[in-house]
Structure 1
Amino acid sequence: MTTAPGIWQPHDSEPAERREVSVPTGLGVTLEVSAAAELAWTVTELADGVAEVEITPDRPTVVRAAWRVPCVDVTAFWAADGGEHRGLPPFWRKPRTAALEKNAPVGCLVGAGDVAVCTYAVGEVVRPVRTRTGVVEETGDFGFWAEHDAAPGAGLVLRLDLSRRPFATTLADVAAWWRTRAEPVPDVPRVARMPAYSTWYAMQQHVDAAGVERQAGPAAALGCEMIIVDDGWHSDDRGRGYGYVGEWEPSAAAFPDISRHVARVRDEGPAYLLWYALPFVGRHTALWDRVQPYTLAYKEHMNAVIVDPRHPYVRELLAGHLSRAVQEWGMDGLKIDFIDQFAVDDPPAPGPEADCETVNEGVRRLLALLPRECLVELRQPYVSPGLWPYATMIRASDCPLSPAHNRQRTVDLRLIAGPLAVHADMLMWHPSESPERVAAQLVNVLFAVPQISVDLTAQTPEQTETLRFWLAFFREHADVLQHGDFQPARPDLGYPQVTASGGDQVITACYAPLPVEAPAAGTLWVANADASTEVLLRVRTPGTADATVFDCRGRTVSSGPVSLSPGLHPVTVPTGGLLRLDR
């Protein structure tokens, strides 16, 4: 048979005595499947243009499925770890790996009009899945392959969507599909979807009880319902390394009575979350010698080792530290950092005390030991749906003072986060920043949960008014913003416009001067983060409407009835401002 171009690259390790079969999917593409075993398969039609294919070997082996589609009218390739790069990669690039502790096995080839030319996902979300995607230079097709270790009764399960529906819709369906295949996921508490305050950019490692308590009241007054205390609470070291992490005792100088301190913060209203760099044990700790038989790697630049969760000793040690924060100190939750660091290349063979073969399974068992009643924040790039049962929220990776990156990363997360609340990276700004640009940062993360990380007691009255106005908008419209029909536009351009709708409410954020669709009825909100103050409304249904424009601080700029005829209608909305249109 003729295999898909590039199914094997010269530098790939091919399975010995591999067998190849063609699997028709009923979607106009044929899978070319390769494995060192006899193969059986089933194809299940899930919807028009959508199918699930399960390929099962008769013995344990690596199973690879490859396919291709014409690269016609294509604008971008979306991947869970794609970051800001939305171009079309070459097929010969290095394969990517997704596993429980890093990335997710999903991708989408996006075409003109933001339709999904081909969206794929793999059902395995704990063990490593390797994928290669890109332009096949010899043919002008876009090629795909996905592989992982499979066994009888646990084959390669692949979801293919060639329905040409909006790309965001197909990715939401992938998240729903994963959820049907996973263990039950607890409901996310309301507090996880409300604005939060973080100490990281505001205080860095110079955090102490008095400083946190000083922010608690102002944060609660602005509508922040949780405070996240980041690095610095556990040590007097301020060197930005990890040589002192692992013992997780509060600094006697900075937090002399942490339980009493937590109670004081909670009395102000916010829930309290505490940061942990989960995989690390630092060189300057008493634990250093004890964990040497149980390490995956030494990170010289971090001055710490990554411990091996395949060993019960390691899991009980780490889980005991984190559980203590909740059960003894009164924390409401945990900010768990650096799970992706468990994904080391070529991990050493586990020691004789290990009770599982893979690091992935060790991480899963470790997280399963954490208190189930507490809030848990995770972060890009550990975005696997295999982590959903152990988390309540997931945050965009660090991008200080970069609104565009924060927007792109939170939108990416929203597309595949399933039940989890999506949080923006912490928002910070220079003390002399204008209220308009502060508002623009907030609008850039309008469809996620904002985390504020500035000294709230040092803000100008104008900056404080801006925060109060926009955080109130987040809270009032959280249901539509976070649960409504979510349609980001133009991933190839970094999402210059994003819309969420629910009931009779439509909320659109503009990050570039693109026309905004005006609904025939209901309320349209347009948040303007662009430097251009001319918002173009595209009207298809004529009529009248009431229009109110607010500036970045919530002050009314204009208000009154407007007549809308079919076509484009410019409306002046200040940068960082908001338009309300009632039809």
Structure 2
Amino acid sequence: MIEENIVPPIQVSVLHPAFQEVEESWEQSGEAVWKYSLHFSHTCGMTEGKGIMITWKVPILDILYRWHPVCGTDRFLKADWDSPLRTMNAVSAPVVCMINGEDENRFTAALSETQKIVYMGAGVHEEDGTLLFDVTINAAELEKEETYDIILYISREKIKLWQILDRVRQWWELENMVFPMTVPDFARYPMYSTWYSFHQDISDTRLEEEAARAKKLGFSTIIVDDGWQTNDHNRGYAFCGDWEPQPEKFPSMQEHVERIHQMGMKYMIWFSVPFLGIHAKRWKDFSDKIIWFDESRQAGVLDIRFPQIREYLLQFYKRAVAEWKVDGLKLDFIDEFYFRSDTAAEKEGITCRSVQEALELLLTEVTAELKKYNPDIMIEFRQRYIGPGIRPYGNIFRVSDCPESGSTNRLGIVDLRMLSGSTAIHSDMMMWNPDEIPEDIAIQLQNSIFATPQISVCLESLSDRQRQTLVFWMKFCEEHMELLQKAQIMPQEAGYLYPVVRTKTEREELAAVYAPDKVITLDPAVGKHTIIWANKSEYAFIRMEYSCSVHICIRDCLGEVTEDKKLIMTECQRLPVCPGGLLEISS
């Protein structure tokens, strides 16, 4: 059915072998937004093959790049025979944006289905110069559904990428009744992580000594990663699953956490949620309740469709918060919860057939239980498991592991910020060689400036200049938190991986410049401008709409002032800058 006076923007083909009947309707919102609703009924009881297929075409006109939540550095158009994107509750999110060379949306498609496994194709159809879109949901995902509803959201609004993604985010929140987990203020302050600096070689004494150093430098929280539960230092998962503090390392976890709290720091602890290693005490008890066995990790992925498995996991998180008094959990690897080819769909004792549904049950139980003991509990998830269905259960989304790669951190942060609303976004842990120069340390920190910085270096080994650089930029992050983390992020040149990223309030604007020879246009209506110089060029090109008298202050990577003066700004002016430093211009 097509509502009167609505002209569909595309011709859609729908195949539905999993259901006998389908009803369709179009709804238009404004001039360039449509919602295409499908209601399937009378299930056919299929268990194999494709259950629903939705396809359409769009002419390739003024389209240069393709964006999706985990595209990373690959923003290029693909052929229609390329592998489709796969989304589910714990992997990515069902949205694809086609943009032009000026970061403007030309066609965005999003789905209301954020829990089930969905395959989304969006590639060039060679025969006629169109983009062929296809959405597939396999019959196994729909087997237990007597009826099924899905909505396709389409936008041809000529707005920036960050604007259309924020509208998709808002639509998900309204359509799917997504209530994001509240973010406590302390989740946005700089955090120290033990992973890159210590890996598994940790103990209560070592961490308390490092926490004391971290507190003096301005860190608010210590995140204790892998190693607290094992003496094994092989970085595998064969010993995961019992989640007992290793007694030689942590004779009393509760007392250890209390000593950290007495320093004035918060405490978060890591759990590898899905893995049960072959050396765990409970391996024999639960080895028949796994989704699959990962030979490389020497661990099984627990089958959370069993209620006793969910209860088993919940007890550990409850103990950490209720007894040890930790302030947050780093829940890792939940994107491993999905069927493999040899996973049995039916098992005696499971309470739901879908692993994604079981994951939602687990996360609902975990957050509800932990909030009883700490209403401000912090829960961190890592990039890939960052979709709208995860936001009610985690208030920190962190960039995926990218040691010493500032550019990857920047890319991940911007992509997360555009789609995550109020959820706190964190950088991956930053590390560097002990002999690294301060300028390059500063540039790495600047690449993560629009997120909460996580740092993982041995603080005792920092040189004086390295320490001064770190302290200056962490303090800068705190002092400009509203502008850096809460104001709307406005990245530029998505196809070139965001060489300039901006934020702005009524009184102040900030631009981080990651590539040389960029002309930065300033808004004369804003009284203060801060330009973060995250590249090695020694000159910035600044453009004002008209000549005016300004005050400029140039700082180097350590925060020290190298020049402070008044000058008359011309329409476009070349100003000296310091690599890894910043330029402040005020009227």
What range is the shorter-chain TM-score in?
over 0.9
- The equivalent of 2:465 in structure 1 is 462
State the distance in 1 between where 2:412 and 2:449 align. 12
3-state SS of the aligned residue for 1:485? coil
State the distance in 1 between where 2:414 and 2:479 align. 20
State the distance in 1 between where 2:135 and 2:29 align. 20
- Aligned-pair CA distance for 1:50: 1.4
1:179 to 151, 159, 173: 173
3-state SS of the aligned residue for 1:390? coil
Letter of the aligned partner of 1:569 in structure 2?
A: Q
Do residues 349 (structure 1) and 345 (structure 2) align?
A: yes
- The equivalent of 2:35 in structure 1 is 52
Letter of the aligned partner of 1:109 in structure 2?
A: M
Q: Is contact 1:336-1:376 (8 Å) kept?
A: yes
Query: Deviating runs (4+, > 6 A) in structure 1?
Result: 20-25
- The equivalent of 1:118 in structure 2 is 107
State the distance in 2 between where 1:64 and 1:117 align. 23
Letter of the aligned partner of 1:164 in structure 2?
A: K
- The equivalent of 2:585 in structure 1 is 581
Q: Is contact 1:22-1:32 (8 Å) kept?
A: no
3-state SS of the aligned residue for 1:302? coil
Do residues 542 (structure 1) and 531 (structure 2) align?
A: no
Q: Is contact 1:116-1:167 (8 Å) kept?
A: yes
- The equivalent of 1:6 in structure 2 is none
- The equivalent of 2:474 in structure 1 is 471
Of stretches 352-361 and 338-347 in structure 1, the one that deviates more from structure 2 is 338-347
3-state SS of the aligned residue for 2:152? strand
Letter of the aligned partner of 1:48 in structure 2?
A: E
Cα pair distance change 1:226/1:25, threshold 3 Å = farther
State the distance in 2 between where 1:500 and 1:463 align. 27
- Aligned-pair CA distance for 1:487: 1.0
1:403 to 403, 406, 410: 406
State the distance in 2 between where 1:48 and 1:230 align. 50
- Aligned-pair CA distance for 1:187: 1.8
Q: Is contact 1:22-1:33 (8 Å) kept?
A: no
Letter of the aligned partner of 1:546 in structure 2?
A: H
* Percentage of pairs with the same residue: 32
Q: Is contact 2:483-2:503 (8 Å) kept?
A: yes
- Aligned-pair CA distance for 1:21: 11
Deviations 1:439-460 (A, max 9, x none): 0001001111110101112211
Letter of the aligned partner of 1:520 in structure 2?
A: P
Letter of the aligned partner of 2:15 in structure 1?
A: S
Where structure 1 has 5 or more consecutive residues not aligned to the other structure, the ranges are: 1-19
Do residues 211 (structure 1) and 206 (structure 2) align?
A: yes
TM-score, reference length from structure 2:
0.93
3-state SS of the aligned residue for 2:102? helix
Cα pair distance change 1:23/1:274, threshold 3 Å = farther
TM-score, reference length from structure 1:
0.93
User: Structure 2 matches for 1:267-306, cutoff 5 A?
Assistant: 267-306=262-301
- Aligned-pair CA distance for 1:76: 1.3
Deviations 1:140-177 (A, max 9, x none): 11221223367676412111111120011101111111
Do residues 222 (structure 1) and 217 (structure 2) align?
A: yes
State the distance in 1 between where 2:4 and 2:319 align. 52
State the distance in 2 between where 1:23 and 1:569 align. 56
- The equivalent of 1:332 in structure 2 is 327
Letter of the aligned partner of 2:349 in structure 1?
A: E
Do residues 40 (structure 1) and 23 (structure 2) align?
A: yes
3-state SS of the aligned residue for 1:164? coil
Do residues 552 (structure 1) and 547 (structure 2) align?
A: no
State the distance in 2 between where 1:26 and 1:279 align. 47
Do residues 28 (structure 1) and 17 (structure 2) align?
A: no
- Aligned-pair CA distance for 1:380: 1.2
- The equivalent of 2:234 in structure 1 is 239
- Aligned-pair CA distance for 1:385: 0.9
State the distance in 1 between where 2:111 and 2:212 align. 46
- Aligned-pair CA distance for 1:33: 2.4
Where structure 2 has 5 or more consecutive residues not aligned to the other structure, the ranges are: 45-50
3-state SS of the aligned residue for 1:580? strand
State the distance in 1 between where 2:563 and 2:409 align. 31
Cα pair distance change 1:109/1:352, threshold 3 Å = same
Cα pair distance change 1:260/1:553, threshold 3 Å = same
Q: How many residues are paired up?
A: 563
Cα pair distance change 1:24/1:132, threshold 3 Å = farther
- Aligned-pair CA distance for 1:401: 0.6
Do residues 569 (structure 1) and 577 (structure 2) align?
A: no
Cα pair distance change 1:48/1:252, threshold 3 Å = same
3-state SS of the aligned residue for 1:39? strand
- Aligned-pair CA distance for 1:362: 0.8
Deviations 1:270-297 (A, max 9, x none): 2110000000000011111100221100
- Aligned-pair CA distance for 1:433: 0.5
- Aligned-pair CA distance for 1:23: 12
